[in-house]
Amino acid sequence: MILKNLPAIFEPARPVLQRIEQAGFEAYFVGGCVRDTILGDHIHDIDIATSAYPSEIKAIFNRTVDTGIEHGTVMILDHGTGYETTTFRTESGYQDYRRPDHVTFVRSLAEDLKRRDFTINALALKENGEVIDLFNGLTDLKHHLIRAVGKPEERFHEDALRMMRAVRFASKLDFNIDTATEQGIKDNAPLLAKIAVERIRVEFEKMLMGQNPASGLAKFLETGLYQYCPGLDHQQAKLAALLPLSKWQLLSDAQVWSLMAWQLSLSRQGISSFLKSWKTSNDLIKAVQKRVPAIQAIRAGKVDNLIIFKTGLQGLLDANAVAKVFGWGMPEQQLREQFAQLPIKSANQLAVNGGQLIKQAGIKPGPLLGQIIYQLTESVVSGELPNQTDQLISMAQKIAKEG
């Protein structure tokens, strides 16, 4: 197969490959960028593989950075753009199911491609548009099939994360998984326990943000992979309840994890421990804790000023995206308008601050001050009280007297 017009992203990289070839070596675009070009999908980055050793690449180009030289990766800097180039390699060992004990540089493209995960990811593209397809990746692309290169078990023993990649691609591309490959995942699913949770998390998130997340999730359940993921091992029934829902379109990790927290009925504390077991950031934990009550409000048709204020616009839109999965979504424009009409949109817009309450309302610093500010904020947000300094101060004095 020859691709006549390569997407624009390849153009500036072509001279880089040409220079490697002129120096007597081979160089190809490889991996996801070739797959996505043939599918006509968006390409987010370009990977280059070459027969030249790192030292040889560094001799050809003036400006390079050693980004992963022990694995054969060197970044070539060309007109302000960096191109990651990796020497063809074979790997051996894999005693821990996640990284090779030895990386050996080789001169043969075939040797390099045969240690890649799936046939659709083992295509190579020459600078002139010629596609090298040694494992029938093109046929599998046409038939929408994810198939391991060679023996599935060997590929999954080399890197157990590839089992998660299979279900991620099934969702992302809306592809099926070849029967032998799927059997390989079932047989080797327990090896996922060897993989760092951060790496699993990336694949899990991408799975739920794909074109057909319900299909990816179904395979994640059928193969038993879920049993080796934090907090999901006993949740088959709740996860399976998501499968009949068809209107998924999640766009961010906050949305993905809010859906999980909602579906698993997690409390505020439960969200924190669940997400800590997935090693997410604290910001994400806070974001999910904000979004779950908003999902509840949307579902109940009780989206009042207070919940809008507490959740914030982005949080509301995320909660609504999750609610949509269940068919409860509100028109986005309505949420935007309700937010726009809030008397104040953040706590610092309150017409009085702690210092003023101490000086002008005679309130002592301490927990009561915090409570008063909270009550004033609530009254202003809900429209009971205008956001005017004098009115807020007299209200504060009244609360202090009564409290």
Cα 373 to Cα 77, 168, 343, 380: the distances in Å are 55, 47, 16, 11
Count of positions on this chain that bind ligand CTP (CB under 6 A): 11
Decide which of Mg ion, ligand CTP, none touches 324; Cβ closer than 5 to 8 Å per partner kind.
none
Cα 312 to Cα 307, 339, 356: the distances in Å are 8, 8, 26
**Closer CB to ligand CTP, residue 133 or residue 159?**
159
**Closer CB to ligand CTP, residue 28 or residue 262?**
28
159: contact with ligand CTP by CB under 6 A: yes
**Annotated binding residue 299:** no
**Which runs of E-coded beta strand occur in 119-222?**
124-125, 131-132, 145-146, 176-177
Residues that bind Mg ion (CB under 5 A): 32
Which tokens hold the place of 281? 């950031």
137: contact with ligand CTP by CB under 6 A: no
**Annotated binding residue 201:** no
Decide which of ligand CTP, Mg ion, none touches 20; Cβ closer than 5 to 8 Å per partner kind.
none
201: contact with ligand CTP by CB under 6 A: no
**Annotated binding residue 32:** yes
Stated as kind and residue range, the H or E segment containing 271 is helix 268-277
Which tokens hold the place of 56? 């040889």
CB 79 within 8 A of CB 60: no
Among 13, 25, 28, 31, binds ligand CTP (CB under 6 A): 31
Total residues found in the chain within this entry? 403
- DSSP three-state, residue 157: helix
- Give the C-alpha separation, 225 to 232, whole Å: 10
32: contact with ligand CTP by CB under 6 A: yes
**Annotated binding residue 14:** no
For the segment 68-127, give every residue that binds ligand CTP (CB under 6 A): 116-117, 121-122
**Annotated binding residue 41:** no
CB of residue 56 to ligand CTP, shortest distance in Å: 22
Cα 146 to Cα 136, 191, 318: the distances in Å are 11, 20, 31
How many C-beta atoms lie closer than 10 Å to residue 365's C-beta?
Answer: 11
Q: Can you name the residues that pair with 148 across neighbouring β-strands?
A: 118
- Give the C-alpha separation, 8 to 119, whole Å: 25
162: contact with ligand CTP by CB under 6 A: yes
CB of residue 165 to Mg ion, shortest distance in Å: 11
Decide which of Mg ion, ligand CTP, none touches 89; Cβ closer than 5 to 8 Å per partner kind.
none
Which tokens hold the place of 171? 């969702």
CB 342 within 8 A of CB 369: no
CB 396 within 8 A of CB 361: yes
CB of residue 181 to ligand CTP, shortest distance in Å: 13
CB of residue 33 to Mg ion, shortest distance in Å: 7
**Closer CB to ligand CTP, residue 175 or residue 262?**
175
**Closest residue to ligand CTP, Cβ-based?**
32
Decide which of Mg ion, ligand CTP, none touches 378; Cβ closer than 5 to 8 Å per partner kind.
none
**Closer CB to ligand CTP, residue 168 or residue 219?**
168
**Closer CB to ligand CTP, residue 47 or residue 378?**
47
Q: Which amino acid is at 142?
A: K
**Closer CB to Mg ion, residue 125 or residue 307?**
125
**Annotated binding residue 403:** no
Which tokens hold the place of 9? 């992203």
- DSSP three-state, residue 393: helix
Residue 331 DSSP code: P
- Binding residues for ligand CTP, rule: CB under 6 A, are 31-32, 47, 116-117, 121-122, 159, 161-162, 165
Binding residues for CTP: 32, 35, 116, 159, 162, 165, 168
Binding residues: 32, 35, 45, 47, 116, 159, 162, 165, 168
Binding residues for Mg(2+): 45, 47
Binding residues for ATP: 32, 35, 116, 159, 162, 165, 168
